[in-house]
Amino acid sequence: MHIAPLALPEDGTQVVRFHRLIDTARPPQRADRAAGGTMPTRAARFCDAAAMAAGFGYYIFPPMSLSLLWDGDDIFWSHADQPEWRLVELEPFPGFEARFDAAAPAGIVGSAPPFLTRMPEPGHVQIWTGLIAQTAPEWSLLIRSVANMPMPGGVVSYEGIVETDRWFGPLFTNLRLTRSHVPVRLSGELPLLQVQPLPRLLYTDAIMDAAGVTDGMDDFGPEEWEAYRQTVTLPNQIADRQLGSYAVRSRRRRRCPIEA
């Protein structure tokens, strides 16, 4: 099957544009190959696979610092201006509804997105990032947990692919609290999510079905054995070989993709 190569955006073309509705929220930022300095130095320097994954996409932050508490049944939340615990049902971001209604045209007034929404599943809550994301035609966003960066204990986020070239709505995620009776703090200064632009082609059936499995080494041909020799055997025969040679080749390939 022939697959046409993807075209890079033309100069000035934006693959993704973030609209910040909650203006006090920290803006998205390009993800960091060292995962915000949390990756071991050796991994950041020599493990290009981990560094590439860490730097692929954009960090998305909670629009404020807050704490969540699950008692096994209900979920409560608090923040600096609301130190008492409040039951999560359909919670607006503090002061946002009035700002939204003042800016929205007639017919849209009263439809501000909620900040926190209790989900039907036990221990699940939906949180809005304060953003709307918009992608170029035929591009989507993979919304996922932050790559290679430790997350706050007691909470995990679900992953999803949103076709943001046609969904002009709140950029949110669903969280699952994994421990009860202990507060979980989300900091507005630390990324909650990582979003990664994907061409829609990548997750079509044509791509997903274009996979095969070799049953064993008896099915290896000369090309497979030569590729293994170049990747594994030869480098390990060099006594003083330089660490991170794969990372060097990968970076050179990204700088000169056609020559590589």
DSSP state letter for 223: H
pLDDT of amino acid 237: 84
Question: Are the CB atoms for 66 and 79 separated by under 8 Å?
Answer: yes
pLDDT of residue 7: 60
Q: pTM for this one?
A: 0.86
Please, are residues 182 and 154 in contact by the beta-carbon 8 Å criterion? yes
- Going by C-alpha positions, the residue among 23, 70, 31, 67 that lies closest to residue 51 is 31
Residue 239 backbone phi and psi in degrees, to 5: -65, -40
Contact 101, 110 (CB under 8 A): yes
Listed by start position, the domains of the chain span 16-206, 216-255
- Cβ-Cβ contacts under 8 Å for 258 (sequence gap 6 or more): none
pLDDT in tens, the chain (260 residues): 345 555 666 666 899 999 999 999 999 999 999 888 888 888 888 888 999 999 999 999 999 999 999 999 999 999 999 999 999 999 999 999 999 999 999 999 999 999 999 999 999 999 999 999 999 999 999 999 999 988 888 999 999 999 999 999 999 999 999 999 999 999 999 999 999 999 999 999 999 999 999 999 999 999 999 999 988 898 888 877 666 555 555 656 656 554 44
Alpha carbon of 247 to those of 47, 53, 201, 203, 254: distances in Å? Answer: 6, 13, 27, 27, 11
pLDDT of residue 244: 58
Which is nearest to 21 in space by CA: 171, 235, 164? 171
| Dihedral angle, C-alpha 219, 211, 4, 251, nearest 10 ° | -80
Sheet holding 58-60, edge to edge: 29-30, 58-60, 193-199, 139-144, 160-162
pLDDT at residue number 243: 62
Write the CATH number of the domain with boundaries 16-206: 2.70.40.10
Quote the tokens at residue 238: 């060099």
pLDDT of res. 259:
46
